[in-house]
Structure 1
Amino acid sequence: MSAPRALARLQFHAGFTLDDAVDVVGYYARLGVSHLYASPILRARAGSTHGYDIVDCHEVNPEIGGEDALRRLVASLRSRGMGLVVDIVPNHMGVGVENAWWMDVLRHGRESRYAGYFDIEWQAPDPLLKGRLLLPILGAGYEQTLRDGHVCLARRRDEWMLRVYDDHLPLSPASSAALGGEAQAMHDPGTGEGRAALHALIERQHYRLAFWKLASDMVNYRRFFDINELAGLRIERTAVFEDTHKTIFRLYAEGLIDGVRCDHVDGLADPRRYCRQLRHRLETLRIRRPPEAPRGAAYLVVEKILAPDETLRLDWRTDGTTGYEFMDQVSAVLHDENGEAPLTGLWRKLTGESADFGTQAVRARRQILVDSFEAELDRTARALFTAARADIVTRDVSLAAIRRVLVELLVHFPVYRTYAGGAGRDAYDEAVFARAVEGALRTIRLEDSDLLHLVARWLGGEAPRSLPPGPVRRARERALAMFQQSTSPVAAKAVEDTAGYRYGRLLSRNEVGVDAASLAIAPEHFHRHCAERAATLPHNLLATATHDHKRGEDFRARLAVLSEVPQRWIVTVDRWRSRHAGFRQRAEGRMAPSAADELILYQMLVGAWPHGLSPDDVDSVERFATRIAAWQRKALREAKRWTRWTSPNEPYEDACEDFLRSVLSSESAAEVAAFASYIAVPGAANGLAQAVLRLTTPGVPDLYQGTDYWDFSLVDPDNRRPVDFLARAVSLERDAAPPDLLPVWRDGSIKQAVIARLLRLRQAHPDLFARGSYRPLAAEGPAAGHIVAFVREWRGQRLAVAVARHTAGWLAGAETPAIPDERWEGTTLHLPEGQWTGVLTEGRLETVATGRGAPASAAAVFGGLPVAAWISLRAS
């Protein structure tokens, strides 16, 4: 076993432990999955529901069962010939009192053995921060916090510590040694003298306490995005790399894990070096693995969001990405480009907003830099300023001018990051910078244009290693690393978490890694992407749902139908807006919800409306409304128009929730349910098509927990709700054929049946999927445009796959996603010649070559389903 056949992603936390996973191994084995794919398993902050806030890299998280439970899980997997891939977090750690390394830095400052583990700027320009670490953990201003007694001296475990709220922070050894038995009374924050003494003691520490809102302006450690509780690691240092990966390497060497998914690789100073170093270490450990462990190379994928024209560098020695680009491509091929103009027109008419998504993203980047990344911006600007001052030719360049130029580059940067190193930029990164400079020239001050070109040259246009060793070269290298680490968090916060919540033309295209500016792609473009993946990264992960998705995979598949019926949607929205005018309220000087927020809400309601939910079922509608309300509050804050996380506008948020609940408690709920029902069947056809393409195109399919049934989840934490594995086990045990499940398609068992049959096919013919060629199949006839089809082939084994798309004209308002044969009248598919056996249906086909190939009627190929797969194990 080398690369996995198929992964099943599970989210571990105190409510779903490694031992709980043991109970579902049998289910996934019967489904046909080869590997479980675990969220981070190392010790995270207490109560973490995601595991990305690791506080101890040397221990399997006891909240999920610890290493003993991990061994039980792996034993269960091995007994069924399965493996385990785990998520690792090389970019950052959770910081606070649970992190012993962080506490040691607070105690000893720059003298701590772990001071070099974290990406801390010890020489900050603020004199109060020189040699000190900013701790933005106070809930109010510093003086007020002292006066309220939330900071005081306390005795704990036979040592003096600083108690801040309910946590205890260490004191430096020197200041602690100077405290006597009366220290607590002398530092009593309840008296003026005590507060003065307490303040003086705090000022002697290696950290500075501050109001949490100061973080974005002043923080002097690299964060994960703008999250104060996640501090960046200097993973490029070999000692840090080895120490943070020590347990992961041991688990791999002992045969407990078989591969890793690297989180947020773009946050690292040098992703290429890291990935190659990781691959090398895993290869050297492979010979130590026990005989019962798989002998193939470790599976290694990286979380990386690619631009539409960007490819993953092959010299990183990874197996690929985690599949966001596939999520984009498979979604786009199921959308109808004819809906773009009317849907764009609706958005512009209602909102008065003419800006396209690209313009929205640029605006969001500019806002994000001010709102969330001032400190990071200043730090990068100072690094560039140091580089300028280090060279006599540029010593007259001002810090203010560099900062202005840097802002415009970041605002117009077209990808998540570049990867220039000592050799400078490659051809692709050079083109990226050219686009960034072109954009910046449109908005920059005229007198800064020469400096813009100069800064672009410093940032990898000129190879740092071409410079002689010395301060200029060191400063350029540091500035380049800091710039490249800053572009990806700015992009993520601006594109995914701001513009994606502002721009509401069609929410099915507002997703992590998706190009929301593009509504649809043609089948030939989808085929090109698949063929390229087969040729370059055949084991790339293929995802359509993740722990980070904004909307569930079948939610997006249903909303895609709006691109096929835009006029009906426009009429419906206009009617609803008129009917619900009385539900809107004035809040903080504006009507709530705004037109944009209202249109976005309507899409959420029809997209997420559960199958079988009756608008008369008050309790169930209330539960649905509560889920949508939680999403809505988060979405409004992420959009950062009228409210935000740092300064919530609760009157506006409350008015929007009132509007939502009024809609769902009136006769309008029936109309929402009716429209959701109207698009539900073609949406289900899209969902099945999406699943089939994920399971059959080149790559390794990833099955996110629970998505073996219909997935109408919302953004986290909604997409991490408990999964009913018992119901899934029962329906899988019945092993019904997909056509037999058409009458009960709403319960999700038809999707499970399709997935199970294709996963078992992958299990029976692994080389066909792992190594087989990919070739598009031609369709002819009046319905040819409704088909995406291809054939995979390996040494006489052939798989023909076809999915229907754009079926709203046939299925909208229908009872089931069965496609009547007459819809395919006159349409044929040119399969290779041979004898074919149905995978999803029970039939057989024989195709005979003619002058134009081996035509088969589309009706026979699909057999009433919206998806088809046929296997031929020998040529005629």
Structure 2
Amino acid sequence: MKPLTATVRLQFHSDFTLDHAVPLVPYFAQLGISHVYASPILKARAGSRHGYDVVDPTRVNPELGGEAALERLVAALRQHGMGLILDTVSNHMAVGGADNPWWQSLLAWGRRSPYAEFFDIQWHSSDPLLAGQLLLPFLGSDYGLALKNGELPLQFDKHQGLLQVAHYEHRFPICPIDYGWILALSPDPALQALAEHFTALEASATPLADALPLQAELARLVHEGADLESALVAFDSRSENGFKRLHLLLERQTYRLASWRTAADDINWRRFFDINELGGLRVERAVVFEATHAKLFELIERGLVDGLRIDHIDGLADPRGYCRKLRRRVESLLARRPLNAALEHFPIYVEKILGANEHLHRDWLTDGTTGYEFMNQVSLLQHDPAGEAPLTELWANVTERPDFPEEVRLARHLVLNASLAGDCESVAQALLQVARNDLMTRDLTLGAIRRALQALVAHYPVYRTYFNACGRPAQDEAFFQQALANARHDLSEADWPLLEQLEQWLGGHAWRQLPPGRARKQLRHACVRFQQLTAPSAAKAVEDTAFYRSARLLSRNDVGFEAERFSAPLEA
């Protein structure tokens, strides 16, 4: 196989499958391409045009031709000595809808589900309405209105034997334990008898396994004409009694249905930025890591994948730990690959935006980033420095907008109080719990913590830093201190002591120095949540807001670019 020298990016979807790429391989070879760089190919949401909304990481996407098509593409590449680098998503999966079996299991069974710990959920909420429940902000209107208008009908899936509430494309499964209450309202004796078995699942040691034959029996009875419809009609929320019954049924579930508008403030699970349909995964857990990567490891071992690009590495709880673990697992597979796909080194690249004077941590054991910083440098060389002063003056005079760094600061405050308000509040609440664990800090209030936190995040000069059990790495210290110093300008002197306390909590003192227990766990949780907040706040503020408000030179407004810099001289 050729060494990695040049790639061509191919975006696969239902209209451009893996088989469509096969006849293009000879042309790519003539161009000097060494590797095809493929968009995600694991099973994504139906009709996905990008593949980052994976619903089943255990399968190659059938819309792209499935595993057989992948084998045909790789065979064509091998004929020209070429390889395949695969884009993959470790941070999140597609949720909502009805097509992610892990998510649907979580909704049906709550913390009983084997996938309850796969998703990054905060089950313990200070809001009584969310105690032990998962907020589902997928409704097109307020919950009460949707219920009143009959927009949440109780339905039966005859193929799977599932009872579920529907709302447009979404399907919210009812816990099988509650089937008993529903079936008891049917006049059919067979369904009434089955209802008792469903109710008995509450006391079962293996309710998930025991529910499967009961659901199959329910499907059989309905197929043979059992009267389930009468029971479903009893939950028609357009009637007074149906309204009460359906609401009580939904209140018993492990989730709380809510308007999409509630997500910004009340969300209690991590998303990809502020997208409700992409739920964060806890790949730092061994079982989640193995389950989400099993198919990738199989493809690597079989010699079908020759490199990885990891999407949104900054969303993970522990990017360093993840990358090192991934490297170890991949290296262990190389000796098992076929001879025609032998590799001395397996490249792993991370999608990471580096700030000014920031360098990728070497101890991650990766081969580099996907190149935003390189494109930034190329762009700087393409602009004449003589144009900076007149364009800056023109933009300022015409718009009276602030300079770009100030636009970013204002935008960060905006997103922290709007689309990411719930995420910010989650970090503030976590820090409050840390404060309560020490007599010297327990008088610190949530309001003061919130103000100091927002000021610190608003001035963060990089997307995130990487605290660990030993504290803040020396490589990150300058960035944290820069944010700390600038945050003082946003706060009154009365809040400055809060910043000093944040400096200690957020990596100033290693959490491993604390004795094992609740306080240590809560400090670690607060540090992780803080770092998972700075990256999306930067992306939403810079890429999604400031770039659209500051147009001094649009060619400098691109992902990973330092838009405040206009040009750069050639350097040796």
Q: How high is the TM-score relative to the length of structure 2?
A: 0.90
SS at match of 2:440: helix
Q: How does 1:598-637 map to 2 (within 5 A)?
A: none
1:143-189 Cα distance to aligned partner (Å, 9 max, x none): 11112221011111233221222433211122122212232121112
Q: Aligned pair 1:492/2:493, yes or no?
A: no
CA contact (8 A) 1:9 1:39 kept: yes
Alignment pair present for 1:266 and 2:266: no
SS at 1:320's partner residue? coil
Q: Kindly provide the CA deviation profile for residues 550-602 of structure 1, in whole angstroms up to 9, marking residues without a partner as x.
A: xxxxxxxxxxxxxxxxxxxxxxxxxxxxxxxxxxxxxxxxxxxxxxxxxxxxx
**Is the Cα–Cα contact under 8 Å of residues 460 and 480 in structure 2 kept in the other structure?**
yes
CA distance in 1, matches of 2:324, 2:25: 32
The C-alpha deviation readout for 1:30-77, integer Å capped at 9, x for no partner, is 111010000000011111111101010100011111111101100111
Q: Which residue of 2 aligns with 1:99?
A: 100
Q: Quick check: 1:251 aligned with 2:299? A: yes
Corresponding position of 2:127 = 126
* Structure 2 counterpart of 1:73: 73
In structure 2, how many angstroms separate the alpha carbons of the residues matched to 1:177 and 1:107? 14
AA in 1 matched with 2:45:
R
Give runs of aligned pairs for residues 411-422 of structure 1, distance below 5 A. Answer: 411-422=458-469
Paired with 1:515 and 1:477, the residues of 2 have a C-alpha distance of 32
Offset, 1:393: 2.0
Give the match for residue 167 of structure 1.
170
- Cα distance in 1 between the residues matched to 2:3 and 2:267: 42
CA distance in 2: counterparts of 1:423 and 1:340, whole angstroms: 44
Shift of 1:461: 1.2
Give the Cα–Cα distance (whole angstroms) in 2 for the partners of residues 449 and 315 of structure 1: 34
Q: CA deviation at 1:266?
A: 0.5
- Aligned with 1:200 (options 225, 235, 248): 248
CA distance in 1, matches of 2:374, 2:476: 22
- Indicate if the aligned counterparts of 1:95 and 1:231 stay in contact, CA closer than 8 A: yes
State how far apart, in whole Å, the 1-side matches of 2:504 and 2:15 are: 51
Distance in 2, Cα, partners of 1:222 & 1:376: 8
2:14 corresponds to: 14
| Residue of structure 1 in register with 2:404 after alignment | 357
Q: Is the 8 A contact 1:416 1:491 kept in 2?
A: yes
* Structure 2 residue 49 is the aligned partner of structure 1 residue 49: yes
Show the counterpart of 1:606: none
Distance 1:71 1:303 in 2: 26
Q: Distance in 2 between matches of 1:167 and 1:141?
A: 16
Query: Which residue type is aligned with residue 525 of structure 2?
Result: R
User: 1:151: which partner in 2?
Assistant: 152
Pairing 1:101-500 to 2, within 5 Å after superposition: 101-157=102-158, 158-180=161-183, 181=186, 182-353=230-401, 355-500=402-547
Structure 2 residue 565 is the aligned partner of structure 1 residue 509: no
Does the 8 Å CA contact 1:138/1:145 hold for their aligned counterparts?
yes
- Partner SS, residue 163 of structure 1: strand
Q: Is the 8 Å Cα contact of residues 74 and 84 (structure 1) preserved in structure 2?
A: yes
Secondary structure at the residue paired with 2:153?
Answer: strand
Measure, in 1, the Cα distance between the counterparts of 2:568 and 2:3. 29
Q: Which residue of 1 aligns with 2:219?
A: none
Give the deviation of 1:470 after TM superposition: 2.4
Q: Distance in 1 between matches of 2:265 and 2:466?
A: 27
CA deviations on 1:852-873 (whole Å, 9 max, x unpaired) are xxxxxxxxxxxxxxxxxxxxxx
- Match of 1:520, SS state, is coil
1: CA distance between counterparts of 2:79 and 2:283? 36
Separation in 2, partners of 1:159, 1:439: 55
Residues 775-794 of structure 1: matches in 2 within 5 Å? none
Kept in 1, the 8 Å contact 2:2–2:81? The answer is: no
Give the C-alpha shift of residue 193 in structure 1. Answer: 1.4
Secondary structure of 1:245's match?
helix
* Structure 1 unaligned spans of 5+: 528-876
| Partner Cα separation in structure 2 for residue 358 and residue 107 of structure 1 | 46
Q: Contact 2:45 / 2:55 at 8 angstroms: preserved in 1? A: yes
Distance 1:332 1:501 in 2: 20
Give yes or no for contact 1:415–1:432 (8 Å, CA) kept in 2. yes
Q: Deviations over 1:333-356 (max 9, x none)?
A: 121111110000110111122x11
Alpha-carbon distance in 2 for matches of 1:49, 1:427? 41
Q: CA deviation at 1:2?
A: 7.6
Cα deviation, residue 467, structure 1: 2.1
AA aligned to 2:135 is L
Would you say the 8 A contact 1:87–1:260 is kept in 2? yes
Q: Which amino acid aligns with 2:123?
A: W
Specify which structure has the bigger relative contact order, considering alpha-carbon pairs within 8 angstroms and separated by 6 or more residues: 2
The answer on whether the counterparts of 2:2 and 2:34 sit within 8 Å (CA) in structure 1 is no
State whether residues 87 and 261 of structure 1, in contact with CA within 8 Å, keep that contact through their aligned partners in structure 2.
yes
Whole-angstrom CA distance in 2 between matches of 1:471 and 1:148: 46
Task: Give how far 1:79 is off.
Answer: 1.0
Answer whether contact 2:2 2:82 (CA < 8 A) is retained. Answer: no
Which amino acid in 1 is paired with 2:181?
Answer: A
Question: Structure 1: how far apart are the matches of 2:12 and 2:163?
Answer: 37
How far apart in 1 are the matches of 2:426 and 2:17? 41
SS at match of 2:135: strand
Deviation string for 1:807-846 (max 9, x for gaps)? xxxxxxxxxxxxxxxxxxxxxxxxxxxxxxxxxxxxxxxx
Q: Deviations over 1:631-663 (max 9, x none)?
A: xxxxxxxxxxxxxxxxxxxxxxxxxxxxxxxxx
Q: Distance in 2 between matches of 1:166 and 1:402?
A: 40
**Alignment RMSD, CA only?**
1.1
**What corresponds to 2:192 in structure 1?**
none
Give the aligned length. 524
Opposite residue 404 of structure 1, the aligned amino acid is R
Percent identity, aligned pairs only? 52
Residue equivalent to 1:86: 86
Work out whether residues 134 and 254 of structure 2, in 8 Å CA contact, stay in contact via their aligned partners in 1.
yes
Where does 1:389-788 land on structure 2 (aligned, <5 Å)?
A: 389-524=436-571, 527=572
Report the secondary structure of 1:221's partner residue.
coil
Distance 1:212 1:84, change over 3 A: same
How far did 1:225 drift? 0.3
Whether contact under 8 Å (2:350, 2:368) holds in the other structure is yes
**Does the 8 A contact of 1:2 with 1:294 survive in 2?**
no
Instruction: State the AA in 2 paired with 1:376.
Output: D
Corresponding residue for residue 821 of structure 1: none
Alpha-carbon separation, structure 2, partners of 1:259 and 1:119: 27
Answer whether contact 1:53 1:93 (CA < 8 A) is retained. Answer: yes
Q: Residue 371 of structure 1: SS of its match in structure 2?
A: coil
* SS of equivalent residue, structure 2 residue 339: coil
Q: Is the 8 A contact 1:54 1:94 kept in 2?
A: yes
Whether the 8 Å contact between 1:261 and 1:301 is mirrored in structure 2 is: yes
The alpha-carbon deviation at position 3 of structure 1 amounts to 5.1
Post-superposition offset of 1:235: 0.6
Contact 2:135 2:255 in 1 (8 A): yes
Secondary structure of the structure 2 residue equivalent to 1:56: strand
Unmatched segments (≥5 aa) in structure 2: 187-229
Tell me the amino acid that sits aligned with residue 460 of structure 1: G
Contact 2:3–2:34 under 8 Å retained in 1: no
